[in-house]
Chain A
């Protein structure tokens, strides 16, 4: 872009050399000049007179002929310095010499060069040298105009880049500066003098300057660098309110001094002084309170550049004003260029911020699309964590559900993600997250050292950030992002993440609520299953009891250990027996869960019922009867193994009783409420059968060989007795089944047992 800009500037420079010198240019009234131009040599056809330094109004005459004039529209004068000046010399064609008179007038003489040079050009003179400069000025004007609207529109909200400025003062500063630059442009002079006078134009220009200086000073006094640090910093340095009061007083005084008839050619310059002095002092006052070391480390480049340009604007204007009073130095020139710098810096800052916002918006759209394809709460949270981890190559991204000072980790993704087994319980929040809740906004440490000693001692060594999500005014969830060890999270990336998370706030909160509700429902169902598993099986989608099946048959299994009556007299043996029962109860419950059986009663008398439907494909394929037999076989094996352990030898292998058979499930009225229970007669039959077991498995079933034949499944039976028709009782001696599936079930039971012990 720079080369093009340089080329454009070069093209606009009028060609030097071969100028016809003018004769005298004498000043006239009303900022005018009368110049005599002597044309030497014969004037050829097609030659024209080019005025590179056009004034607002001019008239070219030869003797009494008016060769041309500019600056009038329908007899109304206007400042026309922005238009190129070419006057045709055709009426003077053939003349050897000619003396022309050029009368000019400038409404803004201080910003115009005197009409010192003219050039005679022919038809071959490149017109770009004539039109380039005005077109460039027009382009600059239009860019400035559109930029003003764009800037003012975008400055309605605070930019999230760590710097906070008072919003009103920022808009006033940018607006006043833009107005000054626009009013300074030749294109805005066109309304002079027909629409408004030059004095009014000047007044407006000076007003913009004063307002701009005052607003820049107020911005500096109100500026704050808010880096959302995780370290609590208590700054002792504050800006005294006296600075703002002095600035405001100076501003009012300057405005007063600007009012006509006080405005005077001599006094005009002094009108800036009351506002310039306090504005320059604000540079010192505001810089004094800033922690520059931290700012230089943590601030982004564009907002830092903007702040520096603000400091330069306030200080340069003060210095240049003093210089202009002492030496021949143009205060307006310094003001003009410092305003341009300020505007450019502000535009760059906004452009970077909006680029980040745009990126956040694109990422948000992508993420929402991914989340919409997932239905479960956990699924959606994991998808979100993986998305963020992938986008920023984070070491870990986690989401916690928060309730006051406790939190439950819901999902975690990344190479250093927290394993599922470690986030099954809620925990007290650590100091970093407690601070996040207290502050109520994002906290982050761009480098690990910024975490502070306290947090590093807690084990936090990664650059991290945490973002809270609010519902009903309380923090409901927190998202934590941890960079790789040694990596730094840049400030602009934090801005993007913050905007992205704000955009996804609704989706995240709903996913968190969904996951919490689903998890709570599962745990309540598990609890309910322990209390009354049969009722839980018959709950419909909405949690209502729905019993449809009138002929519901299930396998019912009971196991207990017979305590030696002598133990009542022997307290140590009694204690040992209780320890063994505790051990066994855990194993039986774990096996029941692995076989998906519903435990009806426990506490030393174990009863379980087969479920209505099996989740496991293997158990579903072999059916309820074989499943129950397999379950009984593993129960027996596990019980025998425990009873045979040397530490329980003193108990001398207490006899166990184990029986199973089919029972009917019926809906009954129990304690004034509807319950789903086992048929009483069936239940009594199995209970009494169990009393006949002596450390063996007894199975009651209908007469006739039960169909137990299956590939990979074999049961060895021994007749026990023939009870009343249509039943018979067998001892189950041994069971052979698919080893791989059996091993899976055993492993599952062991895992359940380990979790129970860990929870206990």
Chain B
């Protein structure tokens, strides 16, 4: 639970809209959203208590700023459900007056943890997987799990998914430090797929390909890969 609460502190969240949400007193509030003040924020909280037109205006503005649908979280305060925010890729977080701030924070941390996977859901909604091969599906999912393990930002995470959906670069090419992180994550996912049955070979490949990457980051890459592949290598006993 503490890990989840910590993750809310690390994750950049802002409240958007005219109506403040008192249960989240420490979060920054954006009353007049502009192109500048919405960049770099991972998730936006919008109250469903707003009027429908105002709500739609805020959401439209965010989409224009290329904010992903999965980054928007609707806070439901009223006792009545809001049917217009029931789509899965638009997260809804319900609040009650009886709950304490601590209880809400705990639930919200759990909710946020789930939100991270919504990037992948939104990805599949935008690029349906019917045409994708099994190998591609697995590569994208592995890239997603590595991105989570490396705690990438929302934008980087999305880019990693996009990179992994494309054909990989030269399989023998060594990664450089100027290569974007999402690209490297996609390449790592491809490596994992190639060497799934042979963890020693995978470690060797990682070592060779990340030779020009700073030591600390190389260690993080290896740790992220091993964390994600634990069960596939060892079986259910490892769990």
Residues of A within 8 A of B (CB): 566-567, 569-573, 575-576, 579, 582-583, 640, 644-653, 694-695, 714, 716-721, 731, 733-734, 736
Contacts and interface: CB of A to CB of B under 8 A. Distances in A.
A572 B196 contact: yes
Contacts of A694: 88
A582 B239 CA distance: 11
B198 interface: no
B103 A716 contact: yes
B219 interface: no
B194 to A, nearest CB: 12
Interface stretch (B29-37, B44-52, B73-81, B176-184): B73-81
Given A566-B124, A583-B236, A733-B99, A647 B231 contact: yes
A648 B232 CA distance: 10
B227 interface: yes
B210 interface: no
B121 interface: yes
Nearest to A653: B117
A579 B99 contact: no
A571 B144 contact: no
11 contacts: A570-B135, A570-B138, A579-B235, A644-B4, A646-B148, A647-B229, A647-B239, A651-B141, A652-B145, A718-B79, A721-B81
A569 B140 CA distance: 13
A650 B99 contact: no
Chain B CB within 10 A, most for which of A572, A573, A721 = A572
B81 A720 contact: yes
A515 B121 CA distance: 57
Contact of B142 (A569, A650, A719, A720): A650
Contacts of B79: 718-719
Contacts of A652: 117, 120-121, 141, 144-145
A714 B236 contact: no
B134 interface: yes
A653 to B, nearest CB: 4
Nearest to B133: A569
B228 A647 contact: yes
Contact of A576 (B107, B117, B232): B232
A571 B134 contact: yes
Contact of B96 (A647, A650, A716, A736): A716
B98 interface: yes
Nearest to B97: A716
Contact of A583 (B114, B228, B239): B239
Interface string B112-124: 0110010011001
Nearest to A643: B114
A649 B94 contact: no
Contacts of B133: 569
A718 B117 contact: no
B81 A570 contact: no
Contact of A649 (B81, B124, B196, B228): B228
Interface residues of B, number: 45
Given A644-B4, A718-B79, 9 more contacts: A570-B134, A573-B141, A583-B239, A649-B144, A649-B145, A650-B138, A651-B141, A716-B99, A733-B96
Q: Which 6 pairs, one residue from A and one from B, show the smallest C-beta to C-beta distance? A: A649-B145, A653-B117, A569-B134, A718-B94, A650-B145, A652-B117
Interface string B85-109: 0001000001110110001001100
A569 to B, nearest CB: 4
Nearest to B83: A721
Contacts of B228: 646-647, 649-650
Nearest to B193: A572
Contacts of A573: 137-138, 141
Contact of A646 (B137, B230, B235): B230
A648 B231 contact: yes
B155 interface: no
A652 to B, nearest CB: 4
Nearest to B227: A646
A672 B68 CA distance: 58
Contacts of B231: 576, 579, 647-648
B163 to A, nearest CB: 17
B11 interface: no
Contact of B236 (A582, A718, A736): A582
Contacts of B107: 733-734
A671 to B, nearest CB: 35
B110 interface: yes
A652 B124 CA distance: 12
A695 B94 CA distance: 13
Contacts of B239: 579, 583, 645, 647
Interface in B197-239: 227-232, 235-236, 238-239
B145 A646 contact: yes
A652 B81 CA distance: 27
Nearest to B80: A719
Contacts of A570: 134-135, 137-138, 141
A715 to B, nearest CB: 9
Given A570-B134, A647-B230, A733-B99, A653 B235 contact: no
Nearest to B189: A650
Nearest to B233: A647
B168 interface: no
Nearest to B145: A649
B214 to A, nearest CB: 23
A717 B96 CA distance: 7
A718 B95 CA distance: 7
A36 to B, nearest CB: 117
A582 B237 CA distance: 11
B144 to A, nearest CB: 6
Contacts of B135: 570
A650 B4 CA distance: 19
A653 B114 contact: yes
A720 B92 CA distance: 12
A649 B189 CA distance: 13
A312 B145 CA distance: 94
A721 B86 CA distance: 12
B98 A647 contact: no
A567 B135 CA distance: 11
A572 B232 contact: yes
A579 B238 CA distance: 11
Interface in B140-169: 141-142, 144-145, 148-149
Interface centre among B99, B114, B132, B138 (most CB of A within 10 A): B138
A583 B196 CA distance: 22
B90 to A, nearest CB: 11
B96 A646 contact: no
Contacts of A717: 96
B40 interface: no
A575 B134 CA distance: 13
Contacts of B138: 570, 572-573, 650
Contacts of B95: 718
A249 B218 CA distance: 104
Nearest to A729: B81
B129 interface: yes
Nearest to A648: B231
A506 B235 CA distance: 52
Contacts of B98: 714, 716
Contacts of A575: 232
Nearest to A651: B141
Most chain B CB within a 10 A radius of its CB, from A567, A718, A731: A718
Nearest to B114: A653
Contacts of B103: 716, 734, 736
B144 A650 contact: yes
Contact of B76 (A569, A583, A653, A718): A718
Interface centre among A576, A582, A717, A736 (most CB of B within 10 A): A576
A602 to B, nearest CB: 17
A573 B132 CA distance: 14
Contacts of A646: 145, 148-149, 227-228, 230
Given A576-B231, A719-B79, A733-B96, A649 B137 contact: no
Contacts of B141: 570, 573, 650-652
